Structure formats: structure tokens, C-alpha cells
Structure 1
């Protein structure tokens, strides 16, 4: 199967602008876990007859550095690894609690990207192997030599052999998807017919932790390029020695000479924030908030052509409107999609989201077709063919700056536009925001908008600070959206007198009444700066019809029910306990 599209020649396959990939960071919770999942089409295989090498036991730097007898070649062998990393069953179960495996992908001239090896060994179906391989490579070249990081999310298509995980109780939770965090590299190679060697190293996992795994892959990727397969074995032993990935914990993870302090979210809808950390830890380079989006490079330049429309984009996100997100490279779409997912918290993600989506994805026909897109779908794409097939979508965001149009698609004499056509049709839409249906409900923060515009003209530090400010602003707007609902829900909780009159655990949240909610909204108002009272009412009428509201309300009922049940059990215990 070829990776080239109709717009490609037989030159290089997918790459992107070289962007620095450092650890990501930064947010507050409340919501419902994602819909129950299918499990993964992989089987965990061990061979107890092979020798076992005991991994280090402490995250101290000296215990996580690889021990190499001699300096290895910087060239990466394209042949499959001779053997798989061997771990004792308990160590393998601990590793599987964090990752499924480390995958190496190379480019084959006949079929395109193919998986070369998986450490520790993991049995994948052929369809999953193809999906992972193509998702790990960019669609089109964006640099001559270099590396970049991106991520993808693919459906877990089958059943995982979970026996080893169940035995030790350390299985990673699954939302029905597998996440891949990639380090893609292109190097000139005179021995290759294509003139380049293209490889990708991928961390496969069930955890939606972009900050953590981008940090890990940005450490491992360059070391793998320099030292080869021994780095994968060392990395597996390091990960197998990590503590359990218990939600809500802060854990110390030793990895290839680095000691990372990692905060794990309580659930997928908790927004982690550096502002909640002790002052001394907020700017620590290796304190990672696992579920936050990447902050390096700063997100602001990706939105430069759409700054004035960010308030409309936020509204479309919370109202579960589908958005197609286009960029020349998957590192850009990945960063943007994870950023959008993050500023929605604590509202649940009620639909599918794909940081990087290719025409080879098993869900391509289901998500890209002539039908109206699914509510809330966020699709990050770099292939202009997908963008053309999605021009009937109501909202399209093309990332980047107008000033970079020439860099995006250098014109040639043959590229002269014909009458009625634009110069950049083949490279995708111009950077900016295009909507067919949305009219804004809330007012922009014009002071913030001016700050953002000025920061776009500044240096890296200015862009970084403005990016953090932007995240805090829209996160606070999401919290403000929920204030009238939380106020009304408090009136539905049984009073202390009602609770005391029953020693049973049957008390629950009273039914939600739309008319009563709007009476409360009219009486108390909203915290969001709506452009009019009519806009305020229309906005909440629409939000109450979204699938996200249903998930959010179910989570609140679950929380209240649990608290009421615990209180009832304590009352029963106090009544029937013997008095001393």
C-alpha cells in the first residue's frame, strides 16, 4: 500500500517543520469518565525460558543511565531486532500498566512505513500494525534533515490478553483507544534510493498523558538515534521499575538518567494546573503534569491567524460542534487538538478526537465521508485530500500565520494560479478560521487579544507567557460556564433534614428541571460576559442539548449519590454500634 496521495510525487514521505519538543506542562476537575471502551487487539507474550536481567531499583540518575560496553554506531539498523526484551511476569505487568510497548517503524520502498520491532514483544493484528505504522509518519516532507514529535489516537480494534495484568492488578485503564507518542527522524542517506532514511520511534499506551509521554519520547528518541536498540532495552527496564500509575498520585519516575516528578490526574476530566503546585515546584523543568498539553513550542503561533476568533472556537468546542483542524505537520495538529481537549476540562469529552488522522486510519470511511460530521469530533489532519473531502464541515481551523504562507507552499512557475483559483489549493486552506454556522454568544476579552497580538511579534519568552495566559483564560471560561449549573444543582441535593430522616442509602439528587434551571439563571445571571440576555439563554439552551451535558450531569449525580450513601452508612453505623 502506498503512502503517497494524488498530490504527491514519488519523493519523500511525510515530515514536518522541525520543532523543539520539550516537556509539556499545565489546570481543576469535575466530570464523568469517558464512555466504556473496547479493549486492545494485542497479546502480551513472554518467554520464561529466556534469561532475565534485573532492572535498576531506584530513579537515581546513575541507576537509569544505560551501560554500554563500547560506543555504538549512530546509524540505525533497518533489520528487526534479534530478540525481545525479557521481563519477569511481575515486571512485565508493571510495565504494561504504563505502556504497551516501544515500536520502531521504518520506511519500505514497496509498501511505505512498516513496523520493524516492538519491545517488549506485543502481538498486533495486521490492520493495527498498518494503522500504527502510517500514523507514526508525517504525510509530507517539511524539512530536509531533523526530528519532530507528534501523537496519534487510534481505535482499539480487538481484545487484549489481560491475564498477566489481572494477576497483579496493574492493568492500565482503557477508553477504547490506543495512544501513540512518536519521535520521527529524517536523515540523508546516500545508500537509500530515496536519498533519505526515515524512522519513527513510538510509545504505545492506553494513557492519554501527552505531557508525560512527550517528555519521555523526547528523551528516548535522540538517544535511540545515537545508540540504537540497547536504549530500548534500558528504557523498558526503567519503565518496568516505575511505581503503579495510581490516579491522583505524584510519582518519581527514573528514566535514562533523568528523575521526573510526575503528577497524575484523578480522572480524564481533571484539569491539572501548575498554579496548584507549591511555588518552588511551578517552574521545575522535570515536574510534569501528565495530562496537560505540550507547552513547547508555545501554542500561540499556531493560532496567530485566528486570534480574534478564539472565543468563537471555544464556544464551538463546548457546544460539541465538529471542527476540522488543518496544519502542514502532525506536530502542529497534535499540539492544537490536545490543547483544545484540555481547555474543555472539567467538561467531559463527549466525542472522538484525533491529534493526527491519516487516510490509512481504520476509521477513515466512518469519519471522513459526505455525511454531516459527528457532534464534537475534533480531527487533526495534514493531508489536503482529507481537507477537501471535509469542506462540507461547518467549521475548519487552519493553523499558522499568514506570514508563513510562502514557507508552507513555495510557488514555482508551474504553480501559477489559474483564474478563479488560489495559489495554495494544493497545500490546504489558508491559515485562519472558517465557520458556516456559528454566531458568537460571548464578548471577547479585547485587552487579552491585544496582549496576544503583541506577543506574536515578540520573542520566545513573550510567546510562552502569552500561551500560558491564553490557557488560563479559556480554562476559567469553561469553569465560569458551569457556575449557574452548579448553583442550581445545589438546590437538588437533599437537605440535612431530609437526609437525617432516612437511615437508608436510597437518597439521590432530585431530577434536573430545565424550566427551574432557567428560572435560576434569570434570577442569578451567569459569570460569562454574554453579549445579551437573549444570547445567554440561547447558549444554555444549546448546551443542555449537547452530549457533554448528559455526561457531566451523570457524573454529578454519581458524586452526590456516593456522598449521600457514605453519609447514610455512617448514620446507620452510629445507630447500631454498641455504646461504651
Structure 2
């Protein structure tokens, strides 16, 4: 698939630019679409990739094959949907296409950024009896491969196109891909209409400037009418209550394990339960980004299997969803294992799994439970648990239960991260200290001890009713990849802000007056520094107004014009 570099464009300019590049609109959403089938001689095999020139390595194709089929223990009959995430082959994509320079990633929330090193796979698997097939079953998966974590959107898309594809085969898939190639690109803060197979999906792409909320404002429409679009209330959120209903009484424990990036294996009865649970766990610390590796569905064929199951070192900071009981034996040295069985109701109340000692972990016949020796830093919120359990008894709708749960987790995360953000703000240099003639002052270094000292008067107790050892939780958090990822992103934002404030100070100054009593060498030095500032502002897409940059450009031209002609010629050549 052809690639394009959007590093020097704004999101709103993407639509026109995309139209001239083959499959560029398509690749703004999807890497490719794969059809994986079961071959009696080869096992799982890719039957079709679309577009045909999609560039997947052989290793990636093999991984997609294994991850697109439930393993033999799952026994999934009929239609089932699940997700996976796989590491891309090294060196396959130029880094200029992603990261800070990518127009989408600059405006998207951290949790919805395009993946730089991984692909997501969204799978619709069908297994039905078929006497015309030697094995006696029709087994096939339609897989959307993307860098975007839009689980709800792509699941909804598959629900529309997969049944039709299984009936009509390749021409149908080609038509769908051509329709997607006409979609506008995903631009944060925009509401888009996405037509596919006679249905118009209406979605809003979240922006990093959105205020975090406990639930979407709009409810989705299930009807599929050409006249009225199918409005999706979210592109990425899951039904948290459905995912956590058997572990509600342990939600505090799970939130802390995710916050601290602890190694955790989720043993589930099917890839659908496995992938939904892992993605729900990752999302439960939102808006904080989960910065460890996570695999919604992981198999023994995965290329990282040996890396993650070695017993010669401590388990890595990774979250794995598995379905094969063999993993219980493999992961016995891991500190946290969550076993989920089939959901069971007891007198109208969903049976809650228990926390058990790791020593009680057995192979194959392991009972549902959370096997860990971890002790939470914070106390359980008994009022929340009581409210949710009462909701089950009263048959409260799942979306309402999810809203309660999501709001609770959001408030908990914000209470935890708020003091850190307030402390970071105190490290910023004051605007009054910005002078146009000097290098901008440095951001003060982060000091854990200094931060801890602020907690007495500005700690989580200001916004949270939660009791417990907040200090101990912060100390542990500082050792986690999540803190490192959060701090790097925040420090980058702060550095950009300092740069913007300095640019403002330069533009507010009277540069022409300053140059009057300066030597030509000093004036040329100023011009070169201002040009460097301007280049950096464009390259890093700093959040400054265009008119400010235009003003700086005019300043540079005016200063150059005040110099002798020979110097002007040299500077214009540069």
C-alpha cells in the first residue's frame, strides 16, 4: 500500500491530499483486510488479502493466521467476534509516518493514538457444520487489520459486512474496500458519516481536548435505514459491566494492577471473553494511557511466546489474554492470574469469583478466581459494589451499570493523577521570566520527594473519598512503565508550551529597535536563531496561531532588509 507523509499538514487539509494517493484514504483507517481459512494440509492459511498489494511480512501473515482462529479448547460454534494485537516486524515502516509528526496523533487522546509498533486485528469468525467440506465444518475468519484501537467501530463494521461476505465472497469484499477508500480520514473532534453496504455509520472521533466523561452522550441506533444513519455512541469503549460482572467486588484490585503495570494473565473460556476482558482492563485507567504491552488474545504460536514464558527472569510487564489451559502450567511463576469460567447466576445474582492463593493454582481443572498475593493500597468502595450488585438484582440495564462503573474508575484515576499534574504545572517557568533575547528558562526537574511533600495539602483526598495508603501507591507507580510513559508525554507538552511562550515573547518585542545599536554579526545571529525557531515551530506543529508565525516571518524579512545588500543576498540564499 502506498504511504504518504502528513507531517507538514494540518488534519483539515488531509482530505484533499489523500484523494491523489492510491488507497491512502483506506489506509488512514485500515492496513488491510484478510480472509483466513482452515486448510486440511496447511492448517490456518490466508486465503485473501485486500488490497492485493498490502505489505505484510511473512512473519506477520503467520501471526495473523494463528490469532484469527479460536484454539481447539474454545469450541466456538456459529459466529464469534474477538480482537488481537500483534507486534509488527522491525523496520517495516518509516518512523516519519507516525509519532509526533503524524497529524492524527497530535490531536487524538493518548489512549486512541495510532500504534507505532503494533497492529490490531478485529476478527469475525464463523464455524458451522458443512457436509461438503472434508472436515465437516466451514471455518473462516474475516479480519480487519488496523493501527487504530477503534474496537467498537470495527466490531460494528464487521457485524455489517462479514455475514454478507460469507454469502457472496470476494466481489463483496472488493466493493466494501472501495467504499472505505472513499471515507474521510479520522480527524479528532470531527463527526463523520461512513457509508458501507447501504448503511451510514455516524461516528465522532474523540479529541485530546475533550473533557473526560463517564459515558457517551448519545445512544446508538440499531436500525439500519439509508435515510437515518446508524449513530455509534463511541468508537472505542466497551461494555465494562459485561466484562467485569463476575469480578465487580475486586474492581479496586484490578484497577491497581493496571495502574502499576503488574504482569497479569487472563485465562478465559473463549477468545471473545479473553479479548474483551483485556481491553476493558486496559481502559479502566483511562484517561491514563496503559504503556505496557498487552495481548487481548495470545496463543502458544505467538512469536513472543518464549520471550514471555521464560522462567530465568521476572515476568515482564505485560497483560495477556489466553484460552488454552496449557498456559496455567506455563505461567505458574507469574504473580497474578485471573481465571474466568462460564458466567453462573446464583439466585438472580451473578456469582463473584474469589481471590485465591497462587499455591491453589492447578493445571486444567483450575476454578474461576483471581490468583494473587497482592494486597491493595486503597480500601474497597463498598458503596459502589453494593450499588452494582443491587443493580443486578433489579435487572438494571447493562449500559447504565457500565456508566456507573466507568464514572467511578474515571474519578478514581483523575483523583490519582490530579496531584501529579498540579505538581508538574509548578515546574513550568513563569511567563514573566521569558525574554526574547535569551534562551527560554528550563523546566524544573521532577522530584519524587518534593512531590510527596505536596500530598498533605494537595493530595487525592481533596477529590476522592477513597481511604488507604495513597503514598505507597504513588511510590509503586513511580517504578512502573505507566509513570514513565505519562511523564514523557507530559514533559513533551510542557516543552512545547515553553517554546510557544518564548515565541510569543519574541513577537511582542520590538526587534527592529533592538537591532539598531547591534553589530551586523549580532543581527545575523538573531536572524539565524529566529529562523531556527520558525522551522522548529513548523516541524513540531507547535500549538501556536498562524498569524503569530506570519508575524515572526515578517520580522525576519524586515530585519534582513535593514542589512547591506551583499548580506541580504547571502541570507536569502540560505
Specify the TM-score bucket, using the shorter chain as the normaliser: 0.7 to 0.9
Aligned partner (choices 20, 24, 36) of residue 93 of structure 1 = 24
Judged with a 3 Å threshold, the aligned counterparts in structure 2 of structure 1 residues 371 and 575 are, in CA distance, closer, same or farther, namely same
Q: How does 1:85-164 map to 2 (within 5 A)?
A: 90-121=21-52, 122-140=54-72, 142=74, 145-160=77-92
Q: Secondary structure at the match of 2:125?
A: strand
Aligned partner (choices 383, 386, 390) of residue 450 of structure 1 = 386
Q: Over residues 53-73 of structure 1, what are the superposed CA-to-partner deviations in whole Å (9 max), with x where a residue is unaligned? A: xxxxx9xxxxxxxxxxxxxxx
Aligned residue for 1:338? 279
So what's the TM-score if we normalise by structure 2? 0.74
Task: State the alpha-carbon separation in 1 of the partners of residues 39 and 211 from structure 2.
Answer: 41
Residue 259 of structure 2 contacts residue 290 of structure 2 at CA under 8 Å; is this kept in 1? no
Task: State the alpha-carbon separation in 2 of the partners of residues 394 and 444 from structure 1.
Answer: 21
Aligned partner (choices 282, 295, 304) of residue 363 of structure 1 = 304
Task: State the alpha-carbon separation in 2 of the partners of residues 194 and 330 from structure 1.
Answer: 22
Q: How does 1:19-418 map to 2 (within 5 A)?
A: 90-121=21-52, 122-140=54-72, 142=74, 145-160=77-92, 173-266=114-207, 273=213, 275=215, 277=217, 281-284=218-221, 286-288=230-232, 292-295=236-239, 299-372=240-313, 374-400=315-341, 403=344
Judged with a 3 Å threshold, the aligned counterparts in structure 2 of structure 1 residues 170 and 200 are, in CA distance, closer, same or farther, namely farther
Judged with a 3 Å threshold, the aligned counterparts in structure 2 of structure 1 residues 458 and 234 are, in CA distance, closer, same or farther, namely farther
Judged with a 3 Å threshold, the aligned counterparts in structure 2 of structure 1 residues 453 and 498 are, in CA distance, closer, same or farther, namely same
Task: State the alpha-carbon separation in 1 of the partners of residues 391 and 72 from structure 2.
Answer: 30
User: How far apart are 1:273 and its partner, in Å?
Assistant: 4.5
The structure with the greater share of residues assigned to helix is: 2
User: How far apart are 1:458 and its partner, in Å?
Assistant: 5.2
Aligned residue for 1:521? 455
Q: Secondary structure at the match of 2:400?
A: helix
Q: Over residues 96-136 of structure 1, what are the superposed CA-to-partner deviations in whole Å (9 max), with x where a residue is unaligned? A: 12111111111112332111001111243332222101100
User: How far apart are 1:505 and its partner, in Å?
Assistant: 5.5
User: How far apart are 1:559 and its partner, in Å?
Assistant: 1.4
Judged with a 3 Å threshold, the aligned counterparts in structure 2 of structure 1 residues 236 and 264 are, in CA distance, closer, same or farther, namely same
Structure 1: 5+ residue runs without aligned partners?
1-42, 46-57, 59-86, 406-420
Aligned residue for 2:402? 467
So what's the TM-score if we normalise by structure 1? 0.73
Residue 149 of structure 1 contacts residue 181 of structure 1 at CA under 8 Å; is this kept in 2? yes
Aligned residue for 2:446? 512
Q: Secondary structure at the match of 2:440?
A: coil
Judged with a 3 Å threshold, the aligned counterparts in structure 2 of structure 1 residues 396 and 529 are, in CA distance, closer, same or farther, namely farther
Q: Over residues 122-177 of structure 1, what are the superposed CA-to-partner deviations in whole Å (9 max), with x where a residue is unaligned? A: 243332222101100011365674101101001101444779989xx999954201
User: How far apart are 1:430 and its partner, in Å?
Assistant: 2.1
Task: State the alpha-carbon separation in 1 of the partners of residues 234 and 305 from structure 2.
Answer: 29
Task: State the alpha-carbon separation in 1 of the partners of residues 220 and 164 from structure 2.
Answer: 25
Judged with a 3 Å threshold, the aligned counterparts in structure 2 of structure 1 residues 489 and 126 are, in CA distance, closer, same or farther, namely closer
Residue 154 of structure 1 contacts residue 177 of structure 1 at CA under 8 Å; is this kept in 2? yes
Task: State the alpha-carbon separation in 2 of the partners of residues 496 and 477 from structure 1.
Answer: 32
Higher relative contact order (CA 8 A, sep 6+): 1
User: How far apart are 1:284 and its partner, in Å?
Assistant: 4.9
Task: State the alpha-carbon separation in 1 of the partners of residues 200 and 317 from structure 2.
Answer: 38
User: How far apart are 1:434 and its partner, in Å?
Assistant: 1.6
Q: Over residues 320-342 of structure 1, what are the superposed CA-to-partner deviations in whole Å (9 max), with x where a residue is unaligned? A: 11111111111111111111222
Judged with a 3 Å threshold, the aligned counterparts in structure 2 of structure 1 residues 496 and 88 are, in CA distance, closer, same or farther, namely closer
| Larger gyration radius, structure 1 or structure 2 | 2
Task: State the alpha-carbon separation in 1 of the partners of residues 201 and 343 from structure 2.
Answer: 38
Task: State the alpha-carbon separation in 1 of the partners of residues 22 and 152 from structure 2.
Answer: 24
Aligned residue for 1:477? 412
Residue 97 of structure 1 contacts residue 245 of structure 1 at CA under 8 Å; is this kept in 2? yes
Task: State the alpha-carbon separation in 2 of the partners of residues 522 and 163 from structure 1.
Answer: 44
Judged with a 3 Å threshold, the aligned counterparts in structure 2 of structure 1 residues 466 and 210 are, in CA distance, closer, same or farther, namely same
Q: Secondary structure at the match of 2:460?
A: coil
Task: State the alpha-carbon separation in 2 of the partners of residues 272 and 95 from structure 1.
Answer: 29
Structure 2: 5+ residue runs without aligned partners?
4-14, 106-113, 223-229, 347-358, 514-574
